[in-house]
Amino acid sequence: MVRERITSTAEETIRLGREIAAELKAPVLVLLYGELGSGKTTLAKGIVSGLGAAEEEEVTSPTFTLVHVYGKGAKVYHADLYRIESAADFESLGMEDIFAKPGVVILEWPERVPVPGEWPKVRIRLEHLGGDQRRIRVMGGDDE
């Protein structure tokens, strides 16, 4: 798995998302940490398209809809929890069935809710480095 990359354009971040997608094994929760505009949705475009669940242009920010579902067979969920009200809402997102048919759940702002402990996870941290540069770090499992 890629550990760390500095990207200088949105396109490079999308490409990194595709590389990460190639190494994901469903069911898995992909947690995207990073401030506003750090590139979480941009990276998700690469992950979702890399998984073959949708075209990169079809992947847009789920800020107002909370969760987008891509793919026909195994599902890819993409949620933005920035505006989520409470932990109870997380249950209502209906993503538990990724275990029934192993899927991938991509979460922006995962720190807004207590994330179920037992799910396999990949944590990704995105940071502004000034201008268009972003540092993107991938951490597997529960290690920091």
Ligand X SMILES: Nc1ncnc2c1ncn2[C@@H]1O[C@H](COP(=O)(O)OP(=O)(O)OP(=O)(O)O)[C@@H](O)[C@H]1O
Judged by the rule CB under 5 A, the positions of this chain that interact with Mg ion are: 40-41, 61, 108
By Cβ distance, which residue is nearest to ligand X?
Answer: 39
CB 122 within 8 Å of CB 137: no
Residues that bind ligand X in the complex, under the rule CB under 6 A: 7-10, 12-13, 34, 36-42, 61, 63, 80, 108, 132, 134
Nearer to ligand X, 96 or 133 (CB): 133
Minimum CB distance to ligand X smaller for 38 or for 49: 38
38 binds, among ligand X, Mg ion, none (CB under 5 to 8 A by kind): ligand X
Q: Which is nearer to ligand X, 61 or 119 (CB)?
A: 61
The per-residue DSSP string of the chain comes to: ---EEEESSHHHHHHHHHHHHHT--SSEEEEEE--TTSSHHHHHHHHHHHTTSS-GGG----TTTSEEEE-SSS-EEEEE-TT---HHHHHHT--GGGTTTT-EEEEESGGGSPPPTTS-EEEEEEEE-STT-EEEEEEETT--
Q: Of 72 and 110, which CB lies nearer to ligand X in the complex structure?
A: 110
Q: How far apart are CA 79 and CA 97, in angstroms?
A: 15
For residue 35, the minimal CB distance to ligand X (Å) is 7
State in angstroms the smallest separation of the CB of 112 from Mg ion: 13
With CB under 5 to 8 Å by kind, the binding choice for 125 among Mg ion, ligand X, none is none
